[in-house]
Amino acid sequence: MKKIILSCIIIVVILIGGGLVLQKVNFNRIGADQLYTQIKGQGKMIEDKIDNGGKIVRYEYKLPAFNKNGQQQTLSFTSPKQLKENAYLMLYTKKDKGVTSYQEVAKKDLPKKVSEKLK
């Protein structure tokens, strides 16, 4: 009987731990390349109509981005809100999906070669 109760407790702990991991991990960032950019401009506002008659607003940005070695490429991505002018972003990209996620970073956290390019 004690073994059954202990087994149930272990299973519950594993399920709760697994659930917490799934909530905290952003799978769009796993295996993605990291590039850096600076927001210039307000982005192009795009309105999409949804089935219930409402609308969704998002902003499209097309900006130069640099890898940690300073190599440039132009990337396009969207955001559900207008991004802060001159903010630095770390973009997570995958070859088959483009930009999958992003996060704002401080200028001091940029790689040296990227910081030189984004003045």
pLDDT tens profile 53-88: 899 999 999 999 999 999 999 999 999 999 999 999
Domain range holding 35? 29-117
pLDDT at site 44: 94
pLDDT at site 114: 92
pLDDT tops 70 at residue 98:
yes
Please indicate, yes or no, if residue 7 is contained in any of the structural domains. Answer: no
What is d(CA 14, CA 67) in angstroms, rounded to the nearest whole number?
A: 38
Q: Rounded to the nearest 5 degrees, what angle is found at the Cα of 92, between the Cα atoms of 60 and 40?
A: 40
Task: Look up the pTM and report it.
Answer: 0.76
Q: Which residues pair with 72 in a beta bridge?
A: 66
Structural tokens at position 76: 């396009």
Please indicate, yes or no, if residue 13 is contained in any of the structural domains. Answer: no
Please indicate, yes or no, if residue 14 is contained in any of the structural domains. Answer: no
pLDDT at site 23: 74
pLDDT tops 80 at residue 21:
no
Please indicate, yes or no, if residue 19 is contained in any of the structural domains. Answer: no
**Residues 6 or more apart in contact with residue 102 via CB below 8 angstroms:** 77, 79, 89, 90, 91, 92
**Domains of the chain: total:** 1
Please indicate, yes or no, if residue 1 is contained in any of the structural domains. Answer: no
What is d(CA 118, CA 98) in angstroms, rounded to the nearest whole number?
A: 21
Please indicate, yes or no, if residue 54 is contained in any of the structural domains. Answer: yes
Domain CATH number, residue 76? 2.40.50.480
Q: Where are the alpha helices (DSSP H) in the chain?
A: 2-24, 112-117
Q: Which helix or strand (DSSP H or E) is residue 42 part of?
A: none
